Structures are given as structure tokens and as C-alpha cells.
Amino acid sequence: MSNHDITQKSETDTHPEKGEAALKELAEHVLDTAKRLGADSGETAISRSQGFSTTVRMGEVETVEHNRDKSLVVTVYFGKRTGAASTSDFTLAAVEDTVRAACTIAKYTAVDEYSGLADPDRLATTIRDLDLDHPWDITVQQAMEIAQQCEDVALRFDSRISNSEGATVSTHRGTEVYANTHGFVGATSGTRHSLSCSVIGEHEGSMQRDYWYSTNRDYRELESAEAVGQTAAQRTVQRLGARKIKTTQCPVMFEAPVAASLLAHFTRAINGSALYKKASFLLDQLGNPIFSDDVYIGEKPHLPKAVGSANYDSEGVATEDRDIVNGGVLSSYVLDSYSARKLGMETTGNAGGTRNLYIKPGQHDLTALLKEMDTGLLVIELIGSGVNNVTGDYSRGAVGYWIQNGEIKHPVEEVTVAGNLKDMFKRIVAVGSDVDTRGNIRSGSILLEQVTIAGE
Amino acid sequence: MSQILELAQTKILEPAGLAQADLDKLFSQLVGPGVDYADIYFQYSRQEGWSLEEGKVKSGSHSIEQGVGIRAISGEKTGFAYSDELQFPALSQAANAARAITAQGESKSVAITTRSSDDKLPRLYATIDPLSTLADEDKVRLLERVEQEARRLDPRVSEVMVNLAAVHDVVMVARHDGKLAADIRPLVRLNVSVIASEGDRREQGSFGGGGRYGLDYFSDDLVNEYAREAVRQALLNLEAVDAPAGSMTVVLGPGWPGILLHEAIGHGLEGDFNRKGTSAFSGRIGEKVATEQCTVVDDGTIPNRRGSLSVDDEGTPTEYTVLIENGILKEYMQDTHNARLMGTKPTGNGRRESFAHLPMPRMTNTYMLPGEYDPQEIIKSVDKGVYAVNFSGGQVDITSGKFVFSASEAYLIENGAVTKPVRGAMLIGNGPDVLTRVSMVGNDMQLDTGVGTCGKEGQLVPVGVGQPTMRIDGLTVGGVQV
């Protein structure tokens, strides 16, 4: 083990600028090759990452996985024809072959007047320090000990905790370079660390599993091993004895970690590529009320240390803070240069998606919101992807708790929640202050006034 | 040496300057006291994709990935490292990292006198590179033809999207016990999605297929059928009414609805969950988990199927494994690691997404054998219920056994007849219990058309499913109509 740890450390200690410089040089080479092969313009994204993860299960180390990945994607334009290719082999011969493959494809694709790089005047010129790079100087052995401690807390939490899927610690660091033939070249290095735990409880012959995780770009801001283990166990125990409920229509609360999925369905529907293909239930809705009056949704791409933070999008366009829904009214779509041109609009700097999208939190925490709901279903997990982006029809499997008089009555499983997202967005009556900041979409718990639950 | 092994060596080992002696050196590093199993998995994979929208093939993509995954197992512990560089020093470093998990103990040199591979192994698909089975201009024309056919069928078709994908996968696995296996795996898929519009209403339909073939598999007749099916579904959905909500009798059509078996039964019978005791099916071999009409198998040996493999990713030949026989749970699906720990034999279900992922027990083609009922008789037997014939996907919670699968084409059954189409709805049930409610199994067993992809712990692998028409007495339909 000692040999290996030294390897990990010495690589982690490599100065990021040095790695960035090498990838920038490779990016220039890729673009030069594209031009040499006759391309009028081109762009490339090159990434490199490494790290490891270790899982401890029932007190014993189960796996140690060492990751080391790299990828190079090149897109070339011959006039208005496009071709793309990628490789994980960075040798000069392989890079040449890859650029050539992209050029070959561009011979056969159709002329598309909207294709091409982002407009040069939209490319990012200000590069802020977003504080994304916090390498964790940790050995595999130390990571195992943290995972062990985390799982141990979970296993001891309650006598009904009977089994485990283990606790995992992982740490990764990566560098990404994007360059195009407008002369833009940008590099970003960042880290991502996480600690997760999943345990199983047993009661009267039936089992339940739940989990908890903490993830952060800065390892010092991860929740403690004890906290993660305890929350995982608590959530599992609370699910024991779950049962079906009768088919009904009632208020439904989406707990913060699953509430973000409602916003993901929304951003998918206002994404430029869904709009120009007319594959969205929110066509031509700009300026119209989509949500209930109090809802504000925006994007903050420059939050320090946040998962989604970036100075520019995946085609080099500067990102900025912006409103998407104000007073329930849709004020902007989510566009890249291509879809913007198709729609006769300007890019919103969203190539590659939204970054730190959030719904403005309300004043009350989950407990207070449950009181406000009084009776209904609190959803803590959703399964199955039963969402139709063309019609907005929504039907997903749910696990949660039946709430009566604002308090948890019993756990619920094997039911579905269903409706149409257009109606569901308008039925949002409250957003909690309990914002989950772990993902690229930030939301508190969301209360909907009425949804159909199918059960017995 | 088999021809496939030679081809794999030429494609992977030779360009990196690796010889048999280098493999021996790596195993010397990997194998030592406490190591029960070790393997080195080489992969070279080339993929191509073409897509059409708005009547144009606007983009195409090409990718090459190659690398090696090295694994050492000691008891329940697995050490794993991979490298996308194939030169010996990178491999040696990966081997050391993988070996580290077994902690103490000097590695010692292992003498493997001969590496053996099974030349007699039946091969389930041609050793072709599907990317080169059709000229690039013909790939573009194929997509354009499908688009034109879809538009020709009905003026309400407003958008057509067509995707074509081809993969050429060359794998070679060397094991500590001297076993050496290689496989060359072609895989192609074509998918058509359409949106039909009428007034304010827009609905989608999609259909596709493929398998372990060259691109010449997509004959005019076949792709025209895909276009027809996609258009038919979209038009049908224009007429659909809200789905009912609640528990009712559900009749599933033949073929792709077999994802019921994949979600409700299949995952829960994978060896890893059962070794750990985390599945709702753990410890239930020999018990009755279905009605007597139900026999369910996982079969990796069907020629040219999307889920088939000549050998799995650990070099074990795939099998026809009976999971449930006349209602009785018979066997779990195993890879080598979980089979060894459970004291049983591997069933050829050790699969991985790529060299950069650890193998796990995974399904191949999972289906139910035909029963005795005429499908029409099954429909006639239902007073009130839902007839679901197409699905978009599913998911399962292994531990609680609860599963969902999402209908994309379904109808009401009223007084023994199929009546109105209903809008998409989720069906939800309990895995260990759902097949005990199967009251009629049809004689019309069908496999799906070759579109399934299964995700487990973040790893995607191609799979197949199938089943005859089936009546389930009591499954919750997640509609909105109370």
C-alpha cells in the first residue's frame, strides 16, 4: 500500500497550472491540425481527471478503485457542415486520426446555416477565481478509515439496521480546457470530494434501504463521517413499515433533495434544442405565467466553490447571473448559440446546461411547511423517469410519509404521483428554506396544493 | 490460437508493444498470498453516431476508446485500477495499485506455463467492424429515407428525428489461472422519434431496433416498419385520454413489456445483491415466487441479439440460465467473484461497461417462456383494466422490491375488448409478489427489437427482454383519473 500512496500524493501535488499548460498546448495543436486538414473553423474540449474511491462494507474494505480518465473532443466546420470526433488517446498519431475522422464526417453532413462557433463578442474575457480547486491530500488508508467510521455509526444507530451497502469516500481532481479558432482558450481545474453511506433496515420480515451523502469541492466542508452515517441510518429506520395508501388527490410535498428534479424537468422544457424541435410542453411561453405568482427562478454561475460554477459555458460564452422566472412569469429560455440562432434569439450562455440554477427559498423550514400542508404526502424518493417532455405528462413512483396534522403518520411506498407539469408548476404554494446545495440545481422542499396519488 | 484471439492481439497488444511475457510479469505483480483471483481486461472500442433532425443529417460523431482494467480480489475485497495508456509502465503501475488492497505479503513470481483459450467456443455474431459495413454516404441516405417514409405516412407528422449508432468492440481478458479469452462484438441500433401535431396537441412516438450485426441489418423493409410504428404511436397518442389511477387488472403485450421481468425479477436475482443479502429475493431459492405458468430465463446465447455475448467480460461463456421454473425460484445470475463467495458456479453474467469499470453480475436477454393462452382469450377475460403494449423504461429498488415501468402505449380494456388509448402512465408493483398474480400467460412469446440499455451503479450495458402476453391481477396504474 505504501508504494501506491506515494504515487497518489506526488500526482496530487502536481501544480495545476502545469497540467493546464500542457492541455492548452494540445488544444492548439488540435486546432492547427484541423486548419491544416482544411477546416474553416473548429473547437476542442480536452479534459483530464484522476482520483480514487474506496468502499467499506460491514466493517471491511470492499473496493478500492483508482480512476484516471482523459478525453479529447474536436468539432470541425467546413463552411456550414459539421463533424465531431473524440478519443482518449492523446498520442500525436491518435489526435491526428481523430481530427481526420471529424473532417471526414463533415464531408457527409448537410449544410446547416445555423451551425458554427459562438459569436466572438460573446466569449468570456473576465476570468474570476471561483475557488473550485481544493485537492485533498489523503491516502487510501485514511479514506478507508473515514468510510469505516461513517458506516460504523450507521450500523450502530438502531438495532433494526441489519445490513449495509457500505460507505464510500471518493476524491477526484480534473482539468478541462476549451479552445476555439476565434482564439479563445480557457482552462479550469477543480476538485470534487464525497462521502456517502447506504444502510438497510429490517422489520417484520421486510427490508428498506436509504442513504445520505455529502459532496463538496472543498473536503473541509464535507459533513462529518458521523453526521452522514447517522442521517443515512435515521432515514432508513424511518422507512420501515412502509405501506401503500388508497388512491387519492391531496397536497404533496417534495422534500428538498427530490424537489430539484421538478426544476430539472422545467429547464429541459425551456432548453433551446427542445424548443426548436417543438419537443417541449412550454413552446412560445416567454412572458407568460408558468409558475404560481411568488416563484422566482434564477442562475448564479459564479458562486464560489459551487458544483455548477464556471466563468464560461461549453462554447466559451461568458456566463452571468440571470433571471429565468420572475413573479411566476417565464423571462428567459436556456439557449446555446446554435439553438439561439434557430430561434432568432441570442445565446443565454447555457451551452452544456444551466449552472447553479435555484428557486428562491421561502421563510419556513420543512417542519413548518408540513404544518402548513396539514394532511398529504411528503415525497422523499422518486423512481422511474415517467416524464413526457412534449406533453408535460408526469407519473413517477414515490416513497415518502403520510402526513396528518402536520406530522409524520407512517411511511408510504408503492404509490405513484401523477399530473401534468404545466398544472403542477402553477400549484406550487410554498418553497422551503431547507435548501439542498449539493447539486447543480438548488431547491428547498416544494409544496404542491394537489396531485393525484395512485395506490390501492 | 483462435482467430478472434489473434485479431484481438493484433488490435490491442501489438500496437502497445506488449507480448505474452509482459502479461506474465503483470500477473507476478498482481498475484501473491491472499489473492484469490486477478484479471487484466483489454479493450479497444470504436463508435460512430449519425443523427437527423429537421430533414437534415446535421451532425455525426466518431470516438475511439482503449485501455486496460486490472483487478485483484482477496476474499470480499477488490482492488481495481485502469489506464488508457497500454504501455507496460502504465500497466505495471495499475497492477501495483490494484494489488495494494491485499495489503501485506510479498508478491511472488507465478509460473503460468501456458495460457489457454477455448477455440471451440460457439460464436454468436460475425467478427465484423459494423462501422465499415456501409459507406458514409449510404448511412446518411439511410437516415434520410427513414425520415421521408415517416413524413409520407401522415401529414400530421411535424418532426422526425432519426439516430443511427454503430459500435465495434474488441475485448481480451487474461486471468490469473491462465485462461485467456477474446471477443469481437459488433452492435448497431437505429431509432426513429416523431412528433405528430393536430390543433394545439402534440404527441410523440418512437421505435427502433438493432443487434449484433453490421449496418446492412437495416433493410428498407425493416426501417420502414420502424417509421410506421413510431408514426402509429404518435397518432394514437393524439387520441389518448387520461389514464386511470389505482390498482386494477393489467394485461401486458408481448415483447418489450418484458422489462417488467427485468425490473421486477431480474435485478433482484443478480448474485451480488444476494450474496450481501440486500435483495428482496435473498435466501429464497426453492421458494414459490410466481404462479406455475411462469418460467423465466436469462439467456446470453441467442445469436445476434443485443444482450447476447459469446463470452462475458470475465471470459466465461454465456449460458441459458433458468431463474424461475414453473413458479419456483431456481438460480441467481453470477459473475466469478460472487459465485466463488457463494460457493456456486459463474453463469456467464459477469459484465462491465468498459475497461474503466468493475465487472458485476448483469442480465443478458431476460424473458418468460410461452404459456398456453391465445392472447385474444386473455383480453376477453378482463372486464375492466388496462392493456399496455409499449414502455419507455423502468427502475427497481432492490431492497424493498418495489419497481416501476413506464407505459408509452396503453389502452383501456372494457368488457373484454380493447377500447380507448390512454396517456402514458407509470405502473408500480412489488417484485417478489407481482408474478404470483399472473393468472394467464399467452402462447405468443416475443423478444424485443433490440433497443434495451440497462444501468446499474452508473454502468450501462446493452440488454434484451421478452415475454408472451400476460395477465396480472392487480397492479397499480399511476394515472390521474381517480
Q: Could you give the angle at which helices A92-108 and A16-36 cross, rounded to 10 degrees? A: 50
Compute the Cα dihedral for B375, B379, B385, B389 and give only its sign.
positive
Inform me whether the pLDDT recorded for A84 exceeds 80: yes
Query: Counting every residue, how long is chain A?
Result: 456
Strand partners, A428: A448
pLDDT of the residue at A213: 98
Nearest of A65, A232, A164 to residue B360 by alpha carbon: A65
Task: Please state which of the ranges A315-319, B270-274, B390-394 shows the lowest mean pLDDT.
Answer: B390-394
Proportion of chain B above pLDDT 90, given as a percent: 87
pLDDT of the residue at B121: 79
Proportion of chain B above pLDDT 70, given as a percent: 97
Chain A residues near residue B267 by CB distance under 8 angstroms: none
More confident site: A10 or B471: B471
Whether residue A182 sits in one domain with residue A34: yes
Q: Using only C-alpha atoms, what is the Rg of chain B?
A: 24
CB–CB of B478 and A417 under 8 A?
Answer: yes
The ipTM, to two decimals, is 0.93
Boundary residue ending a domain (A205, A238, A271):
A238
Inform me whether the pLDDT recorded for B55 exceeds 80: yes
Q: How confident is the model over B128-140, as a mean pLDDT?
A: 94
Residue A297 belongs to a domain: yes
pLDDT of the residue at A14: 44
Which residue among A7, A386, A399 places its CB closest to the CB of B426?
A386
Strand partners, A407: A404
Proportion of chain A above pLDDT 90, given as a percent: 95
| Contact (CB, 8 A) for A90 and A71 | no
Chain B residues near residue A111 by CB distance under 8 angstroms: 56
Q: What is the pLDDT of residues B386-441, one digit of tens each?
A: 999 999 999 999 999 999 999 999 999 999 999 999 998 899 999 999 999 999 99
Q: Parallel, antiparallel, or unpaired for β B452-456 and B459-467?
A: antiparallel
pLDDT of the residue at B1: 57
| Contact (CB, 8 A) for B249 and B472 | yes
pLDDT of the residue at B119: 66
Inform me whether the pLDDT recorded for A323 exceeds 70: yes
Which grid coordinates belong to B79? 482492488
Whether residue A347 sits in one domain with residue A212: no
Inform me whether the pLDDT recorded for B180 exceeds 60: yes
CB–CB of B400 and A206 under 8 A?
Answer: yes
Task: Please state which of the ranges A225-229, A315-319, A380-384, B82-86 shows the lowest mean pLDDT.
Answer: B82-86
Boundary residue ending a domain (A238, A256, A291):
A238
Nearest of B226, B221, B243 to residue B448 by alpha carbon: B226
CATH number at residue A217: 3.30.2290.10
Helix, strand, coil share (%) of chain B residues, nearest 5: 25, 40, 35
Which grid coordinates belong to A156? 450502530
Provide the chain A residues 203-232 that lie in CB contact (below 8 A) with chain B.
206-209
Chain A residues near residue B202 by CB distance under 8 angstroms: 278, 390-391
Q: H or E stretch including A31?
A: helix A16-36
How far CA B327 is from CA of A27, A91, B282, in Å, comes to 59, 56, 16
| Contact (CB, 8 A) for A396 and A382 | yes
Q: 3-class SS at B279?
A: coil
Encode burial over B141-155: b for 16+ CB neighbours within 10 A, e otherwise.
ebbbbbbebbbebee
Task: Please state which of the ranges A337-351, B83-97, B296-310 shows the lowest mean pLDDT.
Answer: B83-97
Inform me whether the pLDDT recorded for B64 exceeds 70: yes
Q: How confident is the model over B255-269, as a mean pLDDT?
A: 96
CB–CB of B76 and A83 under 8 A?
Answer: no
Residue A63 belongs to a domain: yes
Whether residue A277 sits in one domain with residue A133: no
Task: Please state which of the ranges A127-141, B10-24, B221-235 shows the lowest mean pLDDT.
Answer: B10-24
* Start-end of H helices in B79-171: 88-99, 136-153
Mean model confidence pLDDT for chain A: 94
A330 CB near a chain B CB, below 8 Å? no
Please state, in angstroms and rounded to a whole number, the distance separating the CA atoms of residues B60 and A75.
10
Please state, in angstroms and rounded to a whole number, the distance separating the CA atoms of residues A118 and A180.
9
pLDDT of the residue at A19: 85
pLDDT of the residue at A13: 37
* DSSP letters spanning A275-330: HHTT--TTTT-TTSB-S-TT--EEE-TT-TT-TT--SB-TTSBBP--EEEEETTEE
Residue A3 belongs to a domain: no
Whether residue A302 sits in one domain with residue A188: no
Chain B residues near residue A67 by CB distance under 8 angstroms: 82, 356
Which grid coordinates belong to A49? 481527471
CB–CB of A209 and B60 under 8 A?
Answer: no
More confident site: B16 or A100: A100
Inform me whether the pLDDT recorded for A8 exceeds 80: no
Q: How confident is the model over B117-127, as a mean pLDDT?
A: 83
Q: What is the pLDDT of residues A244-303, one digit of tens each?
A: 999 999 999 999 999 999 999 999 999 999 999 999 999 999 999 999 999 999 999 999
Whether residue A264 sits in one domain with residue A131: no
Nearest of A450, A7, A383, A73 to residue B99 by alpha carbon: A7
Q: How confident is the model over B57-62, as a mean pLDDT?
A: 92
How far CA A371 is from CA of A250, A258, A366, in Å, comes to 15, 20, 9
Nearest of A417, A411, A407, A358 to residue A382 by alpha carbon: A417
Amino acid symbol at A395: S
Helix, strand, coil share (%) of chain A residues, nearest 5: 30, 40, 35
Predicted confidence band at A101 (pLDDT cuts at 50, 70, 90)?
Answer: very high
Q: How confident is the model over B312-334, as a mean pLDDT?
A: 97
Whether residue A253 sits in one domain with residue A209: no
Residue A257 belongs to a domain: yes
Residue A224 belongs to a domain: yes
Q: Where are the beta strands (DSSP E) in B22-55?
A: 37-53
Whether residue A307 sits in one domain with residue A187: no
Mean model confidence pLDDT for chain B: 94
Residue A1 belongs to a domain: no
* Total tally of structural domains belonging to chain A: 2
pLDDT of the residue at B39: 96
Whether residue A288 sits in one domain with residue A160: no
CB–CB of A415 and B64 under 8 A?
Answer: no
| Contact (CB, 8 A) for B296 and B267 | no
Number of CB pairs, chain A paired with chain B, less than 8 A apart: 254
Please state, in angstroms and rounded to a whole number, the distance separating the CA atoms of residues B21 and A124.
52
CB–CB of B480 and A418 under 8 A?
Answer: yes
Q: Parallel, antiparallel, or unpaired for β B425-430 and B438-441?
A: unpaired
What chain B residue is nearest to A342 in terms of C-alpha separation? B54
CB–CB of B61 and A105 under 8 A?
Answer: yes
Whether residue A221 sits in one domain with residue A252: no
Q: How confident is the model over B330-354, as a mean pLDDT?
A: 97
Residue A446 belongs to a domain: yes
> CB neighbours (10 Å) of residue B375?
18
Please state, in angstroms and rounded to a whole number, the distance separating the CA atoms of residues A86 and A43.
12
Amino acid symbol at A219: Y
Inform me whether the pLDDT recorded for A108 exceeds 50: yes
Inform me whether the pLDDT recorded for B110 exceeds 60: no
Inform me whether the pLDDT recorded for B235 exceeds 70: yes
pLDDT of the residue at A87: 96
**Residue A55 structural domain:** 8-238
Task: Please state which of the ranges B85-89, B146-150, B208-212 shows the lowest mean pLDDT.
Answer: B85-89
Please state, in angstroms and rounded to a whole number, the distance separating the CA atoms of residues B262 and B299.
12
Mutate to test the interface with B, among A50, A66, A104 (most CBs of B within 10 A): A66
Residue A139 belongs to a domain: yes
Which residues make Cβ contacts (< 8 Å) with residue A126, sequence separation at least 6?
A311, A318
pLDDT of the residue at A11: 36
pLDDT of the residue at B323: 98
pLDDT of the residue at A18: 67
Please state, in angstroms and rounded to a whole number, the distance separating the CA atoms of residues B433 and B402.
10
Q: What is the pLDDT of residues A47-72, one digit of tens each?
A: 999 999 999 999 999 999 999 899 99
Provide the chain B residues 95-124 that lie in CB contact (below 8 A) with chain A.
96-98, 100-101, 103
Whether residue A162 sits in one domain with residue A45: yes
Whether residue A413 sits in one domain with residue A351: yes
pLDDT of the residue at B258: 97
Inform me whether the pLDDT recorded for B163 exceeds 70: yes
Boundary residue ending a domain (A189, A213, A238):
A238
Which residue among B67, B395, B399 places its CB closest to the CB of A208?
B399
Predicted confidence band at A1 (pLDDT cuts at 50, 70, 90)?
Answer: very low
Which grid coordinates belong to B298? 436469462
Whether residue A127 sits in one domain with residue A21: yes
Encode burial over A237-276: b for 16+ CB neighbours within 10 A, e otherwise.
bbbbebebbebbebbbbbbbbbbbbbbbbbbbbbbbbbbb
